[in-house]
Amino acid sequence: MADLTIEDKLPPFYKPLKARSEIDELFETPAFEYSPKTSRAFLSAMRAALAFQGARSPVLKALYRSGGFSPASVKTERDIEKIPFLFVAALKERDLTTLAPSRIVLELKSSGTSGQRSRMQLDRGSLMRVRRMAWQVFYGLGLTDLERAHDYICFTYDPAVARDLGTAWTDKLLTGFTKKGEIFYTFRWSKAKNDFFFDLDGTVAALKRFEDSGSLVRLTGFPAFALKLTEEFKVRYGRYPRLNPGSSVATGGGWKTLADEAVDKKVYRRILADNLGIPAENVRDMFGMVEHGVPYMDCRLGHFHAPNYGRIIVRHPGTLEPLGFNKKGLLQFLTPYLTSYPSLSVLSSDFGLLRRGCVCGLPGPVLEIHGRAGVKKLKGCAISAATML
C-alpha cells in the first residue's frame, strides 16, 4: 500500500542521496546558497524534470505543443517565466500521475472538507528528494538536532490512522529532524464517532509531563491549536507552562476558516513564545502546498525564505504577466523534484509577493502570503482541522 509506512523502510534523509541524476544533484546543494553554481544546478534539474514529464504526461505534452515550449529552452533564470503551468485546481480534479501504479510508493492527499482533495503520488526517487529537501531546509535554518532528544506535540492527524494525509506525513517527517523523545499526536481517532477529534485533555497532560521533565519540546502543526493549548493549560493550572528555553515551535497550515481569530504573525510569535517561556526566535511558521512540496520556513525574524530548490513567480491576476518583486499577485511555484507527477509548475490560488532579501542575512528572496484568491475558497487541511476547535 502506498502510504506512510514506506517511511520506515527508507534510508535516513540526513544522508546524501545515493542516486545522483541531474535532478538529485540539486538537492545536495545548500538550501540557501544562491550562486552561479546553484543556479546552474537548478536550471539543469528543471530541464531534466520537464523533459522527463513532457515525454510521459499528456497534459504537459499538450501545454508544450500549444505554447511552442521546449524544456531545452530553459537556459537562464529569465527563461523560467516561460515554463507552462497547471492551475492548482486541476490537481484537485484529475489524477495526473505519469508513472505506472507499481512505481508509486506513497500517495499524499490534502484533507479538504468538500470534494476538493489534491492527490500527490510519489515514486521512490521523488520521495527521497522531497525528504532530503525538507532536511536541507531545516538544517540550513539551524532547526535540526540529532544529538539531543526532543519531545513532540504534533497538532495534526495521528499518522497511524491517517496514512495518506499530507499534513500527517509532514509532521511525521519533522519529528525525525531531531533525536526523538516522546511524540504525541493531538488529533486522535474515535471509533465511536468514526472521525478524528482534538484530544485536548491528552494534549494538556502531555505538555504538563514535558514541562515537569524539563525536556526539550517542539510543537508542530496548525498554529491555532498551539495557542488554544497554552490558554487551556492556564485555565487548568492557573499559569502558562514554562518549557525548557531551548524548546521550539514549527507551525504550518495557517488559520483558514479561523480567520476571524487569526493573530498578526509577529504578535502571534511573541504571544506564543511568552506563553511557553521560550525566545520568540524559536517560534517558526512554515508555508507549503502538497501539490508543490517545497517548504518555505521562517527565519529567526519570522520571514518565509525561499530555498534554492524552487522558484516563485508573482503573476498579475488578470493578465498573468510576471510582476517581479514587491508587487502582489497570484503565486506560481516551480520545483524539479517530481518524476511521478506533472506539478513541476503550479499556479496557486494564493495571493502574495516577493521581497529581495531579509535583514537576517540569509540569502535569497522572501515570500509574503496575503491570502486566497477567488470567491469560492479551495479547502484544505487546516479548514478540516479547524472544525475540531
- Per-domain residue ranges of the chain: 127-386
Residue 263 is predicted with a pLDDT of 64
The whole-chain average pLDDT of the chain stands at 90
Q: Reply yes or no on whether the pLDDT at 217 is more than 60.
A: yes
Q: Reply yes or no on whether the pLDDT at 114 is more than 70.
A: no
Residue 164 is predicted with a pLDDT of 65
Partner residues linked to 216 by β-bridges: 150
Percent of the chain with pLDDT over 70: 89
φ and ψ at 352, to 5 degrees? -175, -175
Could you read off the pLDDT of 46-85 as tens digits, one per residue?
A: 999 999 999 999 999 999 999 999 999 999 999 999 999 9
Q: Are 330 and 314 in contact (CB under 8 A)?
A: yes
Q: What is the distance between the alpha carbons of residues 165 and 368, in angstroms, rounded to a whole number? A: 25
Q: What is the distance between the alpha carbons of residues 334 and 328, in angstroms, rounded to a whole number? A: 18
Residue 378 is predicted with a pLDDT of 45
Which span out of 102-116, 211-225, 244-258 was modeled with the highest average pLDDT? Answer: 211-225
Three-state SS string across 31-61, please?
A: CCCCCHHHHHHHHHHHHHHHHHHHCCCHHHH
3-state secondary structure of 284: strand
Measuring CA to CA, how many Å separate 146 from each of 132, 143, 164?
Answer: 15, 10, 26
3-state secondary structure of 323: coil
Q: What one-character DSSP code corresponds to residue 229? A: H
Q: What is the distance between the alpha carbons of residues 93 and 59, in angstroms, rounded to a whole number? A: 13
Q: Are 299 and 358 in contact (CB under 8 A)?
A: yes
Could you read off the pLDDT of 278-317 as tens digits, one per residue?
A: 999 999 999 988 889 999 999 999 999 999 999 999 999 9
Read off the pLDDT band of 136 (50, 70, 90): very high
Q: By CB neighbour count within 10 A (0-12 exposed, 13-18 middle, 19+ buried), where does 88 fall?
A: buried
Q: What is the distance between the alpha carbons of residues 65 and 293, in angstroms, rounded to a whole number? A: 26
Residue 225 is predicted with a pLDDT of 93
Q: Reply yes or no on whether the pLDDT at 260 is more than 50.
A: no
Read off the pLDDT band of 113 (50, 70, 90): very low
Which span out of 43-47, 154-158, 168-172 was modeled with the highest average pLDDT? Answer: 43-47
Return the CATH architecture of domain 127-386. Answer: 3-Layer(aba) Sandwich (3.40)
Q: Reply yes or no on whether the pLDDT at 183 is more than 90.
A: yes
Read off the pLDDT band of 258 (50, 70, 90): very low
* Grid cell locating 356: 529581495
pTM for this prediction: 0.91
Q: Reply yes or no on whether the pLDDT at 257 is more than 70.
A: no
